[in-house]
Amino acid sequence: MEEKKEIVVQQEQTGLGSIRIADEVVRIIAGLAATEVPGVAGMSGGIVGGITEMLGRKNLSKGVKVDVGEKEAAIDIFVVIEYGSKIPEVASQIQQKVKKAVQEMTGLNVVEVNVNIQGVTFSGTEVKE
């Protein structure tokens, strides 16, 4: 059985005790923010055997990698884009929305958001090379 470990992302001392934010929480916030951008078909679990795996809303955090320090975070997002979307515009919106959401909700300073386009969907079917 795999043991689930808690990763302390941020620990802040208050008059009442400490606040801990798990790494998984930052990944979920980033995944939710990315999927709200028009043109994003969904999150991608990465390339497995040459096929991009589309993830449902339950697995949003699996399409996100985070590198978190005490006060800063770097985020990598893996998405599938809808056919016909302007990729540079969608990617820029993802960067802005993810940065804003993570900073507002956690207080971490997001130093970079790297967007990785893993595929394109067309009429519900994924297009791959």
Mean pLDDT in the chain?
80
Residue 23: band (very low, low, confident or very high) from pLDDT cuts 50, 70, 90:
confident
Per the CB < 8 A criterion, the answer to whether 44 and 36 are in contact is no
Residues in a beta bridge with 120: 81, 127
Residue 2 inside a domain? The answer is: no
Q: What does the alpha-carbon distance between residue 13 and residue 127 come to, in Å, rounded to a whole number? A: 49
* Other residues' Cβ atoms within 10 Å of the Cβ of residue 30: 30
Q: What does the alpha-carbon distance between residue 63 and residue 44 come to, in Å, rounded to a whole number? A: 5
Residue 45: band (very low, low, confident or very high) from pLDDT cuts 50, 70, 90:
confident
Residue 69 inside a domain? The answer is: yes
Residue 93 inside a domain? The answer is: yes
* DSSP classification of residue 71: S
Residue 75 inside a domain? The answer is: yes
Range of the domain at 90: 8-127
pLDDT tens-place string over residues 76-113? 999 999 999 999 999 999 999 999 999 999 999 999 99
- As a whole-number percent, the residues of the chain with pLDDT over 90 amount to 53
Residue 3 inside a domain? The answer is: no
pLDDT given at position 125: 55
Domain count, the chain: 1
Identify which has the larger pLDDT, 66 or 5: 66
Question: Which CATH number fits the domain that encloses residue 104?
Answer: 3.30.70.1350
Give me the torsion for CA of 5, 104, 44, 70, rounded to 10°.
-40
Could you tell me the sign of the dihedral formed by the alpha carbons of 78, 90, 74, 6, in that order?
negative
pLDDT given at position 47: 52
